[in-house]
C-alpha cells in the first residue's frame, strides 16, 4: 500500500491513462476484500440481462409519454433527503442523473427503435460503458445497493435542477387528467425509459426482489448545496483531524472547501476514461483510505467522476467495515463547474437557480500536478 501511495504522490496527472493500462499491482491487504465484494456484487446481476432489457424496452416503444411517466410513478418512490442528515458520520451518497439513464436505455434499445431518443453519440458511450466489464459491475453495484441502508441513492430525470414533480408534470403527480397534449423532451423520455428498465432488472434480481425501489430526489441534494446547507453542515461536523479528500479530474486538485477545519487531499481521475479504469481508481481510493486509517484520520470524500460513483460506493459499503475510521463519500456530480463557476462540462448549470455560483463555499488555489496530493 505504501509503495503504491508513493507512486501516486510522484506520478503526474497527465500520466494517469498510461498507468491504468499497466496498473500497479494490487496491495495484498486490499485484494481479498475487493475480490469478495466483486463476487457478491456480481451475484445481483440477472443472467443475459442485456437481451432482457432490449425485449423490455421494445415493449415500451409504443407507449405514449404520459403512460411511461405513470408507469414510473407506480414503480419507484422518490423522496427528499433531509438537509440535517449531512451531519451523519459514514454517509455514503451516490447520484445518477438523466445522462446515465438516457444512455442506459439507448444502448439497450433495438438499433431500429432509437428514433424516439436523442442522439447520445453511441460510439463514445460504448467506449465509456462497454470497455471491459464496467457496465456489468456498475449495474450490479446499483442493484446490490438497494437493500443497503448505509447507502443513500439520488436520481433525477434532469441534472437535478427540478424536482421530479416539476420535471415530469401532471402524469407523475396524478393518475387522472387529460394528457392529450403531454410530451416529454427527448432526453427526459430516454431517462424515464432508463429508470423503468432498471426497475425491471430490480424485479428480476434475486437478492433485491423484495426491496422497494426507493430513491432520493437529486433536487434536494442540489438545493442543499445551493443554500449552503450541505457544505456548512459538513464543515461543522468535521474537526481538525478530518480530511476532505476531493476525488475527480485534474482541475479539482485546486479546489478547497472554505472553512474546512482539517486538511485537504486530492486524488485524480482520468478526465476521459475514469469509468473503464474503475479497478485502478477503486484500488487508489482504498489505498488512500487505508493510509488515513493508520493515521486515525476521519475522511470525507467529495467526488466527481461521471457515473463511477455508485460502483465505488457499493465497494466502500463493504470495505469501510474493515477500517477503524469513519468514511463519508458524497457524489456531488458537477463540483468542478460549481467550484470554477463556469460550464466546464458543457451540460448546463447544475444548481436549481441555474447558476454556477459557489457563494464562497469553495475557493481555488494553485493546482498540484500529481495523482495524489496532500495539503
Q: Which stretch of 39-48, 109-118, 221-230 has the lowest confidence by average pLDDT?
A: 39-48
Q: How much is the pLDDT for 267?
A: 98
Q: Which is higher by pLDDT, 368 or 22?
A: 368
Q: Under the phi-then-psi rule, with left for phi > 0, alpha for psi from -120 to 50, and beta for the rest, what region is 359?
A: left
Confidence of residue 264 (pLDDT cuts 50, 70, 90): very high
Task: Report the percent of the chain where pLDDT is more than 90.
Answer: 75
Query: What residues contact residue 198 under an 8 Å CB cut-off, 6+ apart?
Result: 101, 104, 139, 142
Residue 259 has pLDDT above 70, yes or no: yes
pLDDT given at position 131 = 87
* Higher local confidence (pLDDT), 37 or 265: 265
At residue 37, the pLDDT reads: 83
Q: What is the pLDDT of residue 209?
A: 56
pLDDT-derived band at 210 (thresholds 50, 70, 90) equals low
Tell me the mean pLDDT in the region 66-88.
94
Helix (H, G, I), strand (E, B) or coil at 17: helix
2-42+228-374 architecture in CATH?
3-Layer(aba) Sandwich (3.40)
Burial of 213 from C-beta contacts in 10 A (0-12 / 13-18 / 19+): middle
What is the pLDDT confidence band of residue 298, given thresholds at 50, 70 and 90?
very high
Cα–Cα distances (Å) from 52 to 46, 58, 70, 208, 284, in that order, read 9, 10, 22, 17, 35
Residue 118: per-residue pLDDT: 92
Answer with the residue of higher pLDDT: 57 or 33: 57
pLDDT score at 207: 55
Mean pLDDT, rounded, for 271-288: 93
The pLDDT-based confidence of 367 (bands split at 50, 70, 90) is: confident
Domain regions of the chain by residue span: 2-42+228-374, 49-222
The mean pLDDT of 138-146, rounded to a whole number, is 92
Q: Using the predicted structure, report yes or no on whether residue 166 has a pLDDT greater than 60.
A: yes
Cβ proximity of 104 and 142 under 8 Å: no
Q: Given strand 264-268, what is the order of strands in its sheet?
A: 77-79, 214-217, 151-155, 92-96, 327-331, 298-303, 242-248, 264-268, 372-374
- Cα–Cα distances in angstroms (integers) from residue 300 to residues 115, 204, 227, 237, 325, in the given order: 43, 35, 20, 10, 11
pLDDT, position 1:
64
Q: Please, what is the average pLDDT of the chain? A: 91
Average pLDDT over residues 180-188: 92
Q: Which residue has the higher pLDDT, 154 or 144?
A: 154
Residue 125 has pLDDT above 80, yes or no: yes
Residue 206 has pLDDT above 70, yes or no: no
pTM of the predicted model, to two decimals? 0.94
| Predicted local distance difference test score (pLDDT) of residue 42 | 81
Amino acid at each position: 500500500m505504501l509503495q503504491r501511495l508513493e507512486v501516486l504522490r510522484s506520478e503526474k496527472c497527465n500520466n494517469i491513462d498510461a498507468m491504468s493500462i499497466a496498473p500497479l499491482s494490487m496491495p495484498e491487504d486490499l485484494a481479498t476484500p475487493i475480490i469478495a465484494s466483486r463476487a457478491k456484487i456480481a451475484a445481483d446481476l440477472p443472467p443475459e440481462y442485456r437481451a432482457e432489457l432490449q425485449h423490455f424496452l421494445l415493449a415500451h416503444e409504443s407507449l405514449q409519454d404520459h403512460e411511461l411517466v405513470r408507469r414510473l410513478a407506480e414503480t419507484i418512490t422518490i423522496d427528499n433527503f433531509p438537509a440535517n442528515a449531512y451531519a451523519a458520520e459514514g454517509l455514503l451518497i451516490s447520484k445518477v442523473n438523466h445522462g446515465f439513464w438516457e444512455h442506459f436505455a439507448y444502448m439497450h434499445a433495438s438499433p431500429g427503435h432509437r428514433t424516439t431518443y436523442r442522439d447520445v453519440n453511441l460510439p463514445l458511450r460504448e467506449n465509456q460503458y462497454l470497455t471491459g466489464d464496467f457496465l456489468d459491475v456498475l449495474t450490479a453495484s446499483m442493484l446490490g445497493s438497494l437493500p443497503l441502508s448505509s447507502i443513500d441513492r439520488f436520481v433525477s430525470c434532469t441534472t437535478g435542477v427540478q424536482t421530479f414533480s416539476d420535471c415530469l408534470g401532471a402524469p407523475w403527480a396524478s393518475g387522472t387528467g387529460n394528457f392529450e397534449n403531454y410530451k416529454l423532451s427527448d432526453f427526459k423520455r430516454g431517462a424515464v425509459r432508463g429508470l423503468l428498465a432498471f426497475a425491471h432488472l430490480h424485479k428480476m434480481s434475486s437478492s433485491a426482489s423484495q426491496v422497494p425501489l426507493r430513491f432520493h430526489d437529486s433536487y434536494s441534494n442540489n438545493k442543499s448545496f445551493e443554500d449552503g446547507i450541505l457544505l456548512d453542515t459538513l464543515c461543522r461536523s468535521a474537526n481538525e483531524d478530518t480530511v476532505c479528500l476531493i476525488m475527480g479530474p485534474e482541475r479539482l486538485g485546486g479546489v478547497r472547501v472554505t472553512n474546512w477545519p482539517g486538511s485537504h487531499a486530492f486524488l485524480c481521475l482520468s478526465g476521459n476514461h475514469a469509468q473503464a479504469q474503475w479497478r485502478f481508481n477503486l484500488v487508489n481510493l482504498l489505498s488512500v483510505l487505508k493510509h488515513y486509517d493508520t493515521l486515525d484520520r476521519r475522511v470525507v470524500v467529495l467526488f466527481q467522476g461521471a457515473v463511477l460513483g455508485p460502483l465505488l460506493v457499493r465497494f466502500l459499503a463493504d470495505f469501510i467495515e474493515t477500517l477503524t475510521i469513519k468514511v463519508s463519500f458524497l457524489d456531488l456530480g458537477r463540483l468542478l463547474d460549481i467550484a470554477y463557476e463556469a460550464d466546464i462540462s458543457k451540460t448546463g448549470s447544475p444548481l436549481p437557480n441555474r447558476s454556477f455560483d459557489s457563494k464562497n463555499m469553495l475557493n481555488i488555489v494553485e493546482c498540484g500536478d500529481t495523482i495524489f496530493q496532500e495539503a
